[in-house]
């Protein structure tokens, strides 16, 4: 029985979504309770799987009991368990926040939200490249609808760009999969890795092309430099709980890059090219996003650029390549995701109480609950800028330590300057919101309890991540070591003798002389 | 056959990308559709181009690879749904933004007509 628990992160939100899509009146309390309950259930399952994976055991689940290279397998290792738990934590905060009224502005918020979670959880669990594409499509489809939740000019305009860009990205994804399948004859990640080992000549060039195409697609999702221009507008237009959930969408791209590079394209010529590209575009992303943070004239784009800074930091850190670097970035990832999510929610609360001025960085009327909001804003600003005593500082420190030699020369100044930019921009925003806006009547609208609960849930993780930084960093170290050892996954899935490439039933070796 | 096949895919892709870069939503959607046709054909060809090869073992001497056919089917279904979605979205954008330009307004002079 317990081996089937692994598929629950996909099944629970899927079945829940179907129930939630049944027509009810808007803001039905039963629907809200069910939605929160589903998120709690996913949190529990996520925690359980996290505990399972922490022991270092690799768990495979063959769907429909079709064995590995022929059927689709789900794979749970430390990395996927970490991402699943992170998704569940973030989703619970967003849903609690949305229950305060954001869910009634359009139809089917909760159902779509759960469908998005299906896509996210599936993408983190799957061990098959085409299945990864399918889960990407599920999460994108749900995100298209969620982005336009509530409608309005701004959202539809941003949504159109987002949809068209992602459709083009999906086409590219399929081309990459076609190239890889044509060259290797398999779509299972571990099987592909095994076959790449025995590959020579022309096929290698094809695989390199396919691998680089894949990385382009994942960089689009992760919003890396030449491909990030969609992000600020899209995230600023999205409703607050959705924007907060989107904080993990860029990390899906990062996860996919990490997964394919550490499992499939380990010692191929593609790996080197990927690392070089990611390094420079990661650095350039940090630099440009840092400028964007300073230039933003509204709090929402400002946070979007902060998301981009974290993307650049994580990907540049990833291409440092060492185990320490991966440890550091996996330590930094939960912190930055949750804090960016919390910031979006806080921005919404601030906007609510400022009337027409919204979140624009201009003087407006006095906030109703300036102590409360100011306090929340202060904590999240400290966290996102990476100041001690919160986990952002530790994560950045670990990552800076992991950079060696010439890499240090580029990485340290950019990372520190981006932190400074964030600090300046956020203090300016905070001064305008809480000190310079002191006149006028107080607008109606207090922070509701559900909204506060959502924000506090996300913000509470920041001190927790510091408190448990010892166990967490040993976990991420173990994760990095597990990622650096793809051979175990292959032997675990296919048995000991499988390591040298064996031709399986429809082997292409026979077809192509 | 290979040359013809790759030519067809190439022309479809090129036209798709050209249309994708236009300024109005309708050509962009047609471009996306063409691009997805090209991708589907490409996926179909990844199993190798054979004639008289059924995807059933025992039915022909060299059976065709059934997996690309399954992949194409999935891709077609997803592509179909997405095209429908983006058409509706474009109509919605036309009514909300008051223009069918992808940026919601007429661009500079000399912009695509």
Question: DSSP readout, A373-435?
Answer: HHHHHHHHHHHHHT-TTSHHHHHHHHHHHH--THHHHHHHHHHHHHHHHHHHHHHHHHIIIII
Does residue A2 sit within a domain? no
B69 contact residues in A (CB cutoff 8 A): none
pLDDT exceeds 50 at position A318: yes
In a domain? residue A1: no
Cis bond before residue A289 (omega within 30° of 0):
no
| pLDDT tens-digit series, residues A54-67 | 888 888 888 888 88
Query: What are the tens digits of pLDDT across the range B54-107?
Result: 777 777 777 888 888 889 999 999 888 899 999 999 999 888 888 888 887 765
Please give the distance of CA A1 from its chain centroid, rounded to a whole number: 30
- The verdict on residue A199 lying in a domain is yes
More confident residue, A288 or A27: A288
A510 is a domain residue: no
What's the pLDDT at A441? Answer: 73
Domain assignment present for A297:
yes
The parent domain of residue A409 ranges over 15-488
Cβ neighbours, 10 Å, residue A106: 17
Tens of pLDDT along A2-26?
A: 778 889 999 999 999 999 988 877 6
Asked whether the beta carbons of A305 and A323 are under 8 A apart, the reply is no
Q: Around A171, how many Cα atoms within 13 Å sit in the side-chain half-sphere? A: 26
CA distance A48 to chain B (A): 33
Nearest by CB to B104, from A157, A175, A179: name it. Answer: A157
Q: What is the pLDDT of residue A403?
A: 87
Residue A506 lies in a domain: no
Residue B85: both structure tokens together: 């979605």
Residue pLDDT, tens place only, A97-107:
999 888 888 88
The two three-digit tokens of residue A277, written as one number: 């590209």
Name the residue among A151, A161, A167 with its Cβ closest to that of B32.
Answer: A167
Q: What are phi and psi of B57, to 5 degrees?
A: -70, 130
Please check the confidence at residue A505 and state whether its pLDDT lies above 50: no
Record the tokens describing residue A331, joined without a space. 């330590």
Indicate the pLDDT class of residue A269, thresholds 50, 70 and 90.
confident
Query: Is residue B86 within 8 angstroms of chain A, CB to CB?
Result: yes
pLDDT-derived band at A281 (thresholds 50, 70, 90) equals very high
How many Cβ atoms from other residues are within 10 Å of residue A344's Cβ?
Answer: 30
How far is B32 from chain A, CA to nearest CA, in Å?
7
- Average pLDDT (A198-215) is 87
Mean pLDDT value across residues A423-445: 84
Residue A359 neighbours by CB under 8 Å, 6+ apart: A298, A299, A300, A347, A350, A351
d(CA A505, CA A430): 64
Task: Give CA separation, A61 vs A3, A8, A10, A498, in Å.
Answer: 7, 11, 13, 19
Phi, psi of A230 (to 5 degrees): -75, -25
Q: Which of B46, B75, B82 sits opposite A167 (nearest CB)?
A: B82
**Residue pair A483/A258 in contact by the 8 Å Cβ criterion:** yes
Q: d(Cα A260, Cα A456) in Å, to the nearest integer?
A: 35
User: Has residue A504 been placed in a domain?
Assistant: no
Q: What percent of chain A has pLDDT over 70?
A: 96
Q: What is the DSSP letter of A155?
A: H
* Domain-located, residue A431: yes
**Mean pLDDT estimate for chain A:** 88
Chain A residues in contact with B47 (beta carbon < 8 A): 182
**Number of structural domains in chain A:** 1
The pTM (predicted TM-score) of the whole model is 0.91
Give the pLDDT band of residue A143 (cuts 50, 70, 90): very high
Domains observed in chain B: 2-50+63-97 (1.10.287)
């Amino acid at each position: 029985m317990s081996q089937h628990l692994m598929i629950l992160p996909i099944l629970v939100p899927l079945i829940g979504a179907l129930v939630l899509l049944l027509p009810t009146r808007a803001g039905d309390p039963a629907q809200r309770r069910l939605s929160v309950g589903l998120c709690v259930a996913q949190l529990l399952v996520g925690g359980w799987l996290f505990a399972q994976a922490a022991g270092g055991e690799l768990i495979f689940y063959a769907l429909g009991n079709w064995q590995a290279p022929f059927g689709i397998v789900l794979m749970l290792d430390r990395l996927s368990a970490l991402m699943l738990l992170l998704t569940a934590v973030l989703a619970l905060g967003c849903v609690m926040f949305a229950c305060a009224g954001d869910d009634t502005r359009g139809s089917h918020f909760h159902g779509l939200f759960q469908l998005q979670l299906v896509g996210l959880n599936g993408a983190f669990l799957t061990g098959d490249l085409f299945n990864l594409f399918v889960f990407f499509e599920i999460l994108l489809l749900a995100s298209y609808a969620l982005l336009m939740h509530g409608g309005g000019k701004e959202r539809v305009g941003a949504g159109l760009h987002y949809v068209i860009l992602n459709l083009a990205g999906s086409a590219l994804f399929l081309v990459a999969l076609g190239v890889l399948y044509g060259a290797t004859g398999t779509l299972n990640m571990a099987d592909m890795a095994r076959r790449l080992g025995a590959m020579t000549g022309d096929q290698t060039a094809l695989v390199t092309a396919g691998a680089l195409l894949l990385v382009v697609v994942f960089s689009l999702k992760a919003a890396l430099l030449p491909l990030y221009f969609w992000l600020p507008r899209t995230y600023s237009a999205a409703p607050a709980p959705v924007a907060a959930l989107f904080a993990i969408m860029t990390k899906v791209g990062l996860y996919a890059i990490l997964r394919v590079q550490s499992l499939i394209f380990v010692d191929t010529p593609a790996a080197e090219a990927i690392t070089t590209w990611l390094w420079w575009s990661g650095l350039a992303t940090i630099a440009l996003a840092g400028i964007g943070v300073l230039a933003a004239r509204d709090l929402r784009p400002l946070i979007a650029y902060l998301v981009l800074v974290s993307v650049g930091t994580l990907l540049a850190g990833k291409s440092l390549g060492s185990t320490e670097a991966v440890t550091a970035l996996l330590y930094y990832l939960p912190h930055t995701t949750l804090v960016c999510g919390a910031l979006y929610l806080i921005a919404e609360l601030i906007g609510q109480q400022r009337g027409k001025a919204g979140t624009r960085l201009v003087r407006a009327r006095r906030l109703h609950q300036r102590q409360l909001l100011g306090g929340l804003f202060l904590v999240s600003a400290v966290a996102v800028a990476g100041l001690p005593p919160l986990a952002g500082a530790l994560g950045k420190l670990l990552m800076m330590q992991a950079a060696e030699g010439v890499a240090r020369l580029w990485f340290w100044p950019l990372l520190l300057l981006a932190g400074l930019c964030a600090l300046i921009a956020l203090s300016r925003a905070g001064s305008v919101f809480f000190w310079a806006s002191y006149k006028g009547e107080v607008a109606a609208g207090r922070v509701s309890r559900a909204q506060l609960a959502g924000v506090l849930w996300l913000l509470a993780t920041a001190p927790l991540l510091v408190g448990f930084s010892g166990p967490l960093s040993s976990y991420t170290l173990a994760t990095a070591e597990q990622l650096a050892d793809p051979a175990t996954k292959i032997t675990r899935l296919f048995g000991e003798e499988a390591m040298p490439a064996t031709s399986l039933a429809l082997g292409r070796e026979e077809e192509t002389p | 056959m290979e040359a013809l096949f790759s030519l067809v895919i190439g022309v479809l892709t090129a036209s798709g990308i050209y249309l994708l870069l236009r300024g109005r939503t309708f050509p962009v959607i047609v471009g996306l559709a063409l691009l997805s046709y090209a991708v589907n054909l490409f996926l179909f060809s990844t199993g190798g181009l054979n004639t008289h090869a059924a995807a059933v073992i025992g039915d022909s001497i060299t059976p065709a690879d059934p997996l690309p056919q399954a992949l194409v089917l999935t891709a077609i279904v997803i592509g179909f749904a997405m095209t429908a979605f983006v058409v509706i979205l474009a109509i919605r954008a036309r009514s909300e933004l008051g223009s069918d330009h992808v940026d919601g307004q007429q661009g500079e002079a000399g912009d695509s007509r």
